[in-house]
Structure 1
């Protein structure tokens, strides 16, 4: 789909705060601390004629927020779980947690209690916050399986403790019901079939009845997972780290009770930067939120937003901005609890303006031949929620690869997040106990001068940053609605090849090859370019809107508060 690119939508992103305090005169005669007398009380007549005191301060107007709420997720059952919570008085965080547990049941290949995730939360008129509950290195170091200490349960519980309004039981119950009985989707059936050779089929009779992958449309019962979820619900998460589930996890190579009990949610300030009149917020390192902001700023400096979508300059500028961003990931990114990451520099507009000048319109920047990683699985799942107070939650959860490490216990698969320590070429991303790896999960929030107006994210492995750069740049165009944005063709740069969702026009193809790209090829799988889950607030029309990404089984729903 072609998106017509016109003038940018200008949000005028300048925060101003004015506070004027008008003090009323009055008080009794007294000695002041400096020895001076105060003014005497007015007479009775003077009191009758004196103007009333003005104790009010000039404050910023309340943000314009629609009386609506909604959920966007990678599966209809996850949307339904979140909407049920919102309809019964829960807020955006409650709904996101309910959706996260629900989708971990119906898409056990992409996320779950055996993995981790990262969440951004921003309320109207407030600063955004980030929760990084991805897996950490166990106390004895990285096991051969690549399994890290799972953080999903701890992270969602801390989110609920800080923000939740609904009961913990209320947000977990929809997932338990799905674990007891749910319909198998096309994607789950396909993933089970394609992964059969690397999964412990003998432990998975419910997924492989008679040794054959369960078919789409069949009813799936996961009693072991239902029991684990009930324990998480009833113990408020402690069973996973200190109870029966924790004991079961110690049978897994590399995991131990001390490592489980010591898990802490990462709490670092999210990354923010200006782009096209908006404030863009991303997850902090070692996640690539700063990379998306950097790429957007490079594009803005080069005038890429004025180019036609899928034109040669548009594709080339984004591809080269990703090449530049990768160099920073390789050299500088790491867990900020262990190393310094120059975030301010990476999202500095002046530096990115200078980097934009390094991009030539008729040549390709050299690739780094020492890079050790390449295209990764199109994994993870994303959830976006907006409640009727205008709070936005952008949440990305993952097992890393599809089905993670393939190890299965107590009804769920365990991650292989520790494999992501292969990203980078310095000591910035080196495993040690308690440390998180660099990886590609990248929930984003975009705000205007009143507060958040867009929550967005996607699965897709290494392609997540470049995809979100395309989506956000499309979204700021005045004539592009969210449905057009999500359906627009996507592309990725890997080595010196462009992977494109649809074959470009012959003149564009020839021009890109002349610039120096080795080849232009199609995506290897239908899932390659992820699934954007986004919701936006339209203040002008007093509404919330979303769109379903047809690349997967994504869904969204909006309701108006009566």
Structure 2
């Protein structure tokens, strides 16, 4: 099975192209919005790297629509998706147009050189489309080890060809489009092709990340595209053209995904990967040609009055979120809602402790289940209600510091090693609801900021293989998420769909970038909307918080000293840090007795929402 039950073609209007190109001529410098003033908090700890650098915080208002809605990480990609929906396209159609535009305007985060997970609701069933990258056939568990058998430093593995896996996003989108697309495949590429040819304005966030980036300039193709002759990133508002990408997109539009996977583009990727002067890789054109996208069973679990559907392995996001909610279900979270805009100590405490327990299981058990089975060979053990109740009972009035993995039903002992992958993906999230009520939640990534820092024909290559554990085993045995040929690295991406248990109607589509912290970001929105009664924009805008089975992490500059001190009194090791989530969300709500869609975008990034 690849579905989970929850109970003539149009051409794009010429208005789409003119709408997308509006404003591209601007060359005015702009500054990123500063973080809002908050109560002071103690100094931040150092040493915890974020997947992408912060670029400011600007409060956003939610958007209401009655027919359809799209929420993406960039206004230009939002407009592309909106115009497709307006032309009668499906949510899948809009997602394709959005992803192609993001490849151009948000290259640091996702693109056709990377992979994605897509949750789709067709009005009756939930389907999970897996476009995660795969390891080359020549890869071994020693891929990220030094000749002495030690794990190499993370960034040494990232930059270059070694980290590049076979891209999956185009095969996955084509698979979904064949079943659920309404508009012609080629028409969905037109907005990004035209904008690549005519240019788009460099955004404040792209400019900020280019300034902080240390490795991209070392790739001649990337340096020539992103920087001027003096090595400075193009100023905000500069119109940046990418004719090479336009040509590639045109080939894919006309020839389908095969134009990418079975032709010169794949051979050019192989040549780039293998020719890196200091860190060549193993990926071949044959690996790319052999890539297959997959449909998998979504993880759908009950939580109070709702059904929460998340992505299965090779993502750990769906399992971890279901575990956290399962541990918290017996607690009165509604009584712990934020007060006067401030998070409560007890609310953060419970959420963080549940996170510790879920991340402990994640690090021990979860990987690509095509290679490494879960305990008992099924999801049921890790999501067993009795097991989660027992795990939740470990949460007391004081922090446990660091949780140990549990022993799910059917497992007599813990025999797997502990994963050591840093997982710092640079990622983007898309939520869409179309006029038929069909919806997607799609999280898409090239892994680290600007991926492997290798540019081929106008797009960046992923470094997804560094999501594997660099170590292959420890004293307990082999690590589930070790490198193996053809294997998909474990992810924390958590595209999520929520349904009303009584009516089976879609309630919420949400997700986020953010590396392994994605689980906490998405969990925050679920608790914020479902337990605390916030609209999705307010839930997204809440300060980020949680634990990844280490320190209790709080968003720097957005929490009070009272919260910090209250958590310390409960034994928490508190770390204040930038937490650059990129949450998007679309939620069903009632206004004046009428059911409408209400969308929100993360104030920490450049996302936007639009609908009719």
* TM-score (ref. length: structure 2): 0.77
Q: Does 1:233 align with 2:260?
A: no
SS in 2 for 1:538: strand
- Offset of residue 315 of structure 1: 0.8
- Cα distance in structure 2, aligned partners of 1:216 and 1:374: 34
- Offset of residue 474 of structure 1: 0.7
- Offset of residue 494 of structure 1: 4.8
Cross-structure match for 2:234: 214
Cross-structure match for 2:203: 185
The correspondence for 1:489, drawn from 537, 540, 543, is 543
- Cα distance in structure 2, aligned partners of 1:520 and 1:334: 28
SS in 2 for 1:492: strand
Cross-structure match for 1:250: 270
- Cα distance in structure 2, aligned partners of 1:384 and 1:248: 32
Cross-structure match for 1:285: 313
* Ranges in structure 1 where 5+ consecutive residues have no aligned partner: 1-13, 17-65
Matches within 5 A, 1:158-173: 158-173=175-190
Asked whether the 8 Å contact 1:123–1:452 carries over to 2, the reply is: no
Cross-structure match for 2:244: 224
- Offset of residue 257 of structure 1: 2.5
User: Deviations 1:486-536 (Å, cap 9, x if unpaired)?
Assistant: 21111132564222124544443223112222234232xxxx331111111
Q: Count residues in correspondence.
A: 492
Higher Cα radius of gyration: 1
Q: Which has the higher contact order (CA 8 A, sep 6+)?
A: 2
Asked whether the 8 Å contact 2:422–2:467 carries over to 1, the reply is: no
The correspondence for 1:307, drawn from 325, 330, 336, is 336
CA distance change for structure 1 residues 15 and 440 in 2, over 3 Å: closer, same or farther?
Answer: closer
SS in 1 for 2:484: coil
Asked whether the 8 Å contact 2:492–2:516 carries over to 1, the reply is: yes
Asked whether the 8 Å contact 2:6–2:125 carries over to 1, the reply is: no
Asked whether the 8 Å contact 1:545–1:558 carries over to 2, the reply is: no
The correspondence for 1:389, drawn from 429, 433, 436, is 436
Cross-structure match for 2:569: 514
CA distance change for structure 1 residues 148 and 197 in 2, over 3 Å: closer, same or farther?
Answer: closer
- Taking only aligned residues, the RMSD between alpha carbons, in angstroms, comes to 2.2
CA distance change for structure 1 residues 402 and 15 in 2, over 3 Å: closer, same or farther?
Answer: closer
Matches within 5 A, 1:38-117: 68-117=67-116
Q: Does 1:438 align with 2:456?
A: no
Matches within 5 A, 1:397-408: 397-408=444-455
SS in 1 for 2:601: coil
- Cα distance in structure 1, aligned partners of 2:512 and 2:239: 27
Runs of 4+ displaced beyond 6 Å: none
Cross-structure match for 2:146: none
Asked whether the 8 Å contact 1:270–1:281 carries over to 2, the reply is: yes
- Offset of residue 463 of structure 1: 0.6
Cross-structure match for 1:35: none
- Cα distance in structure 2, aligned partners of 1:429 and 1:201: 30
- Cα distance in structure 2, aligned partners of 1:189 and 1:450: 44
User: Deviations 1:455-507 (Å, cap 9, x if unpaired)?
Assistant: 00011111100111111011114642122112111113256422212454444
Q: Does 1:358 align with 2:389?
A: no
- Offset of residue 277 of structure 1: 1.0
- Offset of residue 339 of structure 1: 2.5
Cross-structure match for 1:347: 383
Asked whether the 8 Å contact 2:101–2:192 carries over to 1, the reply is: yes
- Cα distance in structure 2, aligned partners of 1:389 and 1:127: 14
- Cα distance in structure 1, aligned partners of 2:403 and 2:266: 44
- Offset of residue 15 of structure 1: 8.2
User: Deviations 1:129-182 (Å, cap 9, x if unpaired)?
Assistant: 001111001111166621111111111111111210110011111111222211
SS in 1 for 2:125: coil
Cross-structure match for 2:526: 472
The correspondence for 1:338, drawn from 360, 371, 388, is 371
Q: Does 1:555 align with 2:608?
A: yes
- Offset of residue 543 of structure 1: 0.8
- Cα distance in structure 1, aligned partners of 2:532 and 2:572: 31
* TM-score (ref. length: structure 1): 0.83
Which has the higher mean CA deviation after the structures are superposed, 234-243 or 361-370? 361-370
- Cα distance in structure 2, aligned partners of 1:504 and 1:395: 30
CA distance change for structure 1 residues 67 and 85 in 2, over 3 Å: closer, same or farther?
Answer: same
Cross-structure match for 1:44: none
Matches within 5 A, 1:120-199: 120-124=119-123, 126-141=124-139, 145-180=162-197, 181-199=199-217
Asked whether the 8 Å contact 2:364–2:419 carries over to 1, the reply is: no
- Offset of residue 227 of structure 1: 1.0
- Offset of residue 275 of structure 1: 0.9
User: Deviations 1:98-155 (Å, cap 9, x if unpaired)?
Assistant: 111111110111001111010000122x120001111001111166621111111111
* Ranges in structure 2 where 5+ consecutive residues have no aligned partner: 8-64, 144-156, 275-281, 406-416
CA distance change for structure 1 residues 220 and 301 in 2, over 3 Å: closer, same or farther?
Answer: same
CA distance change for structure 1 residues 86 and 317 in 2, over 3 Å: closer, same or farther?
Answer: same
SS in 1 for 2:437: coil
- Cα distance in structure 1, aligned partners of 2:532 and 2:551: 31
